[in-house]
Amino acid sequence: MRRATFTDAAVSYAAIGGTLAPDLMSYPPKGYRPMEQSVKLGSSQDRFDAATKLLMTWGIQRGSGMEVTDLENGTGVQYTPVTFGPDGTPAAGQQHPVNEATFAADGTPYIANGMTATLRMKVWLFQVSAPVRVVYVIDEAARVGFAYGTMGGHPESGEESFIVEHRDDDSVWLTIRSFSRASTWYSRLAWPVLRFQQAKFTKLYLRALHPVGAIK
């Protein structure tokens, strides 16, 4: 079977970059359920640097018990997500350059725009494979993160973002935002279970970067 390339592996939803919308919790894409949670990770530049390094090498997913496989950097064609101004309207003149590939000391590639991966996890008695595609990366002095969108074969449809912020009071915060719905008729039948598992993994995500794992 031919391995799918970056350009022919499309995401399975339309509102690409929607997790950046300031009013996501009030006005999610039609038919989708939004979520937002934050946790304080500590303080200092060192804490920010350590958290973002872990974040950008799939540390949240691996730290929550997922296996990250089938990593592909793609062909260089990137999605350009929509960013929004303070009034909630799309900002003008948006450009999002392609990230150059970089690697951690152990050879793990840093997350970059357009990268694809398969997240494998245990859900009750089943092994679930969830293909995702990175739709944007944020790389600022005090704000680092990314979002991925679901691809065909994922039990859900939607987008999830993970952003670490170093605030003016020196505190470091992780914020997770998402919008999602079941992707197929049979996953809709299992939607209560999927919602339960999503809430469980969100809690694990928040704990994964916490220095003492103190999130209950």
Out of 5-14, 24-33, 63-72, 145-154, pick the least confident.
5-14
pLDDT at site 59: 92
For residue 95, name the pLDDT band (cuts at 50, 70, 90). Answer: very low
pLDDT at 123 over 80: no
pLDDT at site 53: 93
Under DSSP, the state recorded for 20 is G
For residue 145, name the pLDDT band (cuts at 50, 70, 90). Answer: very high
Q: What are the tens digits of pLDDT across the range 38-48?
A: 999 999 999 99
Percentage above 70 pLDDT, the chain: 66
